[in-house]
A = this chain, B = another copy of it.
Amino acid sequence: MAAGFRIDALAAAVDRLASGRLAATLHGDASRQVDGVAPLAEAGPTQLSFLANRAYRMAAAATRAGAVVLAPKERQALFDGLSEAPTLIDCANPYAWFAFAAQLLAPDARVVGGVAAGAQLAADADVDRSARIDANAVVEAGAVVAAGCWIGAGAVVGRDARIGAGSRLHPRAAVLSGCVLGARVIVHSGAVIGADGFGFAPLDGRWIKIPQTGRVLIGDDVEIGANTTIDRGAMGDTVLEEGVKLDNQIHVAHNCRIGAHSVLAACIGIAGSASVGRGCQIGGAAMIAGHLSIADGTVIGPGTLVSRTIAEPGHFTGFFPLMRHGDWERNAAALRHLAELRARVRALEGRDRNGESGDG
């Protein structure tokens, strides 16, 4: 359990974490103690909450939270002159300030090194003494687990894999042989980093396996969701640059590259050798075909199949809209003959023009 913070100490700690990018001003009792976070409507006097969306202004005005972080304008509108307000933290980006504060208040914030019962560490694995290895985890030969890592119950670190400082593998995550994680990487349960890519050569109606000898290279501050899979490269490597965030149940095929700070929602599939730029945002269940590239800063809607290179950033979408089933049946039937319908309209236009010209 986190010990809690005085609000002024918390603000100082957030300022350090944010490297000074989040100026904040305290209003009210800065000596109050907070020990957790909660939504505005549920927070009590020892909890911190936040207002980042105007839809929650009523909840903010009525909150019993001990402290609230919010934009200066909102503070003035909602709390100016009130005597019984929570301690208020003015910040132009209240959601980011709240994120850092919540990290400091999280019960998991400190890792205590040690090896639990049933964990199997190969004799020549290099596991830092400050790392925590939970029950029945496995660290194979030649692997490196750096300072401050937390390897959860039943997780596997494969032969010669390297886990950077401060990283966390949640229970049953797997980082397979030779893969390399940067610092502060989070891998959620069931994720598999470094399974073989899907590569076969056809021969007489059969498929001959191409051994997959590349690695997965993952930059600092990447987060990988539960049951997401990232395949190793066929010969070269599969690369996730720093700050990439992947949600659950995503598939990243061999030799893909995902640019720094891109965010991918759940259930996305990316086929082999595709390249996603930096700062992209990809919606859930989108699918990206192989051997193409997507420009930096591109936004892809949910359920959208990207079948060609996107050279200039933009917002792209492509999913069939929701309909009542009967409407869908009729419209889908018409869609089967859409090209023909277009030809019929052209024919009508032609006759029309002929008629017009005939009139002239």
Q: Mark A residues whose CB is within 8 Å of B.
A: 18, 21-22, 36-39, 42, 93, 95-96, 98-100, 102-103, 105-108, 116-118, 120, 134-136, 138, 140, 152-154, 156, 158, 170-172, 174, 176, 186, 188-190, 192, 195-196, 198, 200-211, 213, 221, 223, 225-227, 229, 231, 235-236, 243, 245, 247-249, 251, 253, 261, 263, 265-267, 269, 271, 279, 284-285, 287, 289, 299, 301-308, 314-325, 327-339, 341-342, 344-345, 348-349, 351-352, 356
- Contact, CB under 8 Å: A269 / B251: no
- Chain B residues in 8 Å Cβ range of A261: 205-207
- Chain B residues in 8 Å Cβ range of A153: 120, 138, 140, 156, 158
A117 to B204, alpha carbons, bound, how many Å? 43
- Chain B residues in 8 Å Cβ range of A330: 338-339
- Contact, CB under 8 Å: B327 / A336: yes
Q: Which of A18, A266, A299 has the most CB of B within 10 A?
A: A266
- Contact, CB under 8 Å: B189 / A195: yes
Beyond A135-B120, A229-B226, A287-B284, whether A328 also contacts B301 by CB under 8 A is yes
Q: Which chain B residue shows the least CB distance to A18? A: B203
- Contact, CB under 8 Å: B322 / A328: no
- Chain B residues in 8 Å Cβ range of A158: 153, 171
What are 25 A-B contacts defined by CB distance under 8 Å? A22-B203, A42-B235, A95-B202, A99-B208, A99-B209, A103-B211, A118-B118, A136-B138, A154-B174, A158-B171, A171-B174, A174-B189, A209-B223, A249-B269, A251-B267, A299-B325, A303-B305, A305-B322, A307-B319, A317-B324, A318-B322, A320-B332, A327-B336, A334-B338, A338-B338
- Chain B residues in 8 Å Cβ range of A243: 206-207
Q: Which chain B residue shows the least CB distance to A170? A: B195
- Contact, CB under 8 Å: B96 / A120: no
- Measured CB to CB, the closest approach of chain B to A316, in angstroms, equals 5
Out of B205, B320, B327, which one reaches A319, CB within 8 Å? B320
A142 to B43, alpha carbons, bound, how many Å? 25
- Contact, CB under 8 Å: A334 / B324: no
- Measured CB to CB, the closest approach of chain B to A331, in angstroms, equals 4
- Chain B residues in 8 Å Cβ range of A195: 170, 188-190, 225-226, 248
- Contact, CB under 8 Å: B156 / A156: no
A304 to B284, alpha carbons, bound, how many Å? 13
Enumerate the 4 nearest inter-chain pairs by beta-carbon distance, A residue then B residue, closest first. A195-B226, A330-B339, A120-B135, A99-B208
Out of B96, B135, B285, B337, which one reaches A140, CB within 8 Å? B135
- Contact, CB under 8 Å: A334 / B325: no
- Chain B residues in 8 Å Cβ range of A39: 235-236
A279 to B202, alpha carbons, bound, how many Å? 11
- Measured CB to CB, the closest approach of chain B to A217, in angstroms, equals 15
- Measured CB to CB, the closest approach of chain B to A245, in angstroms, equals 5
- Contact, CB under 8 Å: B349 / A352: no
Q: A136-B138, A266-B271 are in contact. List 17 more A-B contacts (CB 8 A).
A: A21-B204, A102-B211, A102-B213, A108-B211, A140-B153, A195-B226, A226-B231, A227-B229, A249-B251, A269-B284, A269-B285, A302-B305, A316-B324, A317-B328, A320-B332, A320-B335, A331-B335
